[in-house]
Copies of this chain bind each other. A is one copy, B any other.
């Protein structure tokens, strides 16, 4: 594997530089040349490791903001949701949400970025969420045919989107914890 040639430290360094550049100039103006210059690596190396700017940027995002739902398994639904919320970094959330908003807008005219975000960032989290809910069903905590089960993603997306777009506030841990208790658990019949 080409990627294995980079040490984890070097990879983390590269991702941090990509995110810095992204905050400075935005997705559209970010070039592989600039990443190469900033990280003292060659463009050939970057393309060999990541294939495209879209993939490099999304992997950098994923490394910096890892909800990693698939790694959450506390043994109870409440524990899992609290673990999820506690992975939100209150200090980072504002900085990152500006960055996410910028990426989200760039998606509009960058289909490859759209695909990378979907495949590398959104789908793994949604699959992790589904597995987490399935375990709660298997433990008998929630019903397999509850009508809200298929809408947990919608509820959570709403929390993040409305908090930022309408309330103009960061979706911090205190807000998310209250929202999960007020909306998600009652809808799931917990």
Contacts and interface: CB of A to CB of B under 8 A. Distances in A.
A154 B148 contact: no
Contacts of A153: 162, 166
Interface size range of chain A in the complex: 20 to 34
Contacts of A186: 148, 186-187, 189
B183 A151 contact: yes
Given A186-B187, A186-B189, A179 B154 contact: yes
Given A122-B166, A161-B157, A162-B157, A151 B182 contact: yes
A151 B179 contact: yes
A77 to B, nearest CB: 16
B147 A157 contact: no
A163 interface: yes
A150 B157 CA distance: 16
Nearest to A153: B162
Interface in A133-160: 147-148, 150-151, 153-159
Pairs of residues from A and B, 10 with the lowest C-beta to C-beta distance, nearest first: A158-B158, A147-B182, A157-B162, A154-B162, A154-B158, A148-B182, A105-B108, A183-B187, A157-B158, A161-B161
